[in-house]
Structure 1
Amino acid sequence: MAFASGTPEAGAIQAVDLTPRIASRIMIDKPALLSGTHAEEIRSLLIARGVVVVRDIALDDDELRTIARTLGQLRIGAVRRGADGAILTEGDGGILRVTLDETRNPEYARFLFGNQLWHMDGTYEEVPPFATLLAPVRLSARGGDTLFANTAAAFADLPEDEQRRLETLRVLHTMQAALFPAKRDCSVEEFALWSSYPQRSHPLVWQHRSGVRSLVLSTSGAYVEGMEPAESHDLLQRLMIHATQDRYVYRHKWQPGDLAIWDNTATMHRVEPFDRESGRELHRCTLNGEEPVTAPA
Structure 2
Amino acid sequence: MGQTGGISEPEALETVALTPRIGSQVMVDKEALLSGRHAAQIRALLIQRGAVVVRGVALDDEDLRTVARTLGDLRIGSARRGADGAILSEGDGGVLRVTLDERRNPEYARFLFGNQLWHMDGTYEEVPPFATLLAPVRLSQRGGDTLFANTAAAFADLPEEEQRGLEKLRVVHTMQAALFPAKRDCTVEEFALWSSYPQRSHPLVWQHRSGVRSLVLSTSGAYVEGMEPAESHDLLQRLMIHATQDRYVYRHKWQPGDLAIWDNTATMHRVEPFDRDSGRELHRCTLNGEEPVTAPI
Give the TM-score category using the shorter length.
Answer: over 0.9
Rounded Cα–Cα distance in structure 1 between residues aligned with 2:14 and 2:216: 31
1:105: which partner in 2? 105
- Does 2:196 correspond to 1:186? no
Rounded Cα–Cα distance in structure 2 between residues aligned with 1:294 and 1:81: 27
Rounded Cα–Cα distance in structure 1 between residues aligned with 2:228 and 2:80: 32
2:87: which partner in 1? 87
1:6: which partner in 2? none
- Does 2:138 correspond to 1:134? no
Which 4+ residue blocks in structure 1 deviate beyond 2 angstroms? 77-80
- The answer to whether the 8 A contact 1:142-1:274 is kept is yes
Rounded Cα–Cα distance in structure 1 between residues aligned with 2:281 and 2:198: 27
Q: 1:31-71 deviations in whole A, cap 9, x for unaligned? A: 11001001000000000000000001100000000000000
1:198: which partner in 2? 198
Rounded Cα–Cα distance in structure 2 between residues aligned with 1:221 and 1:68: 28
Rounded Cα–Cα distance in structure 2 between residues aligned with 1:10 and 1:225: 47
Rounded Cα–Cα distance in structure 2 between residues aligned with 1:10 and 1:44: 14
Residue 192 of structure 2 aligns to which amino acid in structure 1? A
Rounded Cα–Cα distance in structure 2 between residues aligned with 1:247 and 1:153: 9
Rounded Cα–Cα distance in structure 1 between residues aligned with 2:184 and 2:141: 27
Q: Could you tell which deviates more after superposition, 72-81 or 133-142?
A: 72-81
1:218: which partner in 2? 218
State how 1:52-63 maps to structure 2 within 5 Å: 52-63=52-63
1:37: which partner in 2? 37
SS of the residue 1:202 aligns to: strand
Equivalences, count: 289
- In structure 1, runs of 5+ residues without a counterpart are 1-8
Rounded Cα–Cα distance in structure 1 between residues aligned with 2:223 and 2:40: 37
Q: 1:64-96 deviations in whole A, cap 9, x for unaligned? A: 000000000000023531111111111000000
Residue 96 of structure 1 aligns to which amino acid in structure 2? L
Rounded Cα–Cα distance in structure 2 between residues aligned with 1:95 and 1:215: 28
- Percent identical: 88
State how 1:268-279 maps to structure 2 within 5 Å: 268-279=268-279
Rounded Cα–Cα distance in structure 2 between residues aligned with 1:285 and 1:17: 24
- The answer to whether the 8 A contact 1:148-1:267 is kept is yes
2:258: which partner in 1? 258
Over 3 Å counting, the alpha-carbon distance change for 1:38 and 1:10 in structure 2 is closer
TM-score by length of structure 2 reads 0.96
Residue 55 of structure 1 aligns to which amino acid in structure 2? R
2:241: which partner in 1? 241
State how 1:272-287 maps to structure 2 within 5 Å: 272-287=272-287
Rounded Cα–Cα distance in structure 1 between residues aligned with 2:26 and 2:233: 39
Q: 1:231 Cα deviation (Å)?
A: 0.0
State how 1:60-71 maps to structure 2 within 5 Å: 60-71=60-71
Residue 168 of structure 2 aligns to which amino acid in structure 1? T
2:24: which partner in 1? 24
Rounded Cα–Cα distance in structure 2 between residues aligned with 1:287 and 1:257: 21
Q: 1:212-269 deviations in whole A, cap 9, x for unaligned? A: 0000000000000000000000000000000000000000000000000000000000
Rounded Cα–Cα distance in structure 2 between residues aligned with 1:88 and 1:156: 37
Rounded Cα–Cα distance in structure 2 between residues aligned with 1:157 and 1:196: 37
2:49: which partner in 1? 49
Aligned Cα root-mean-square deviation (Å): 0.9
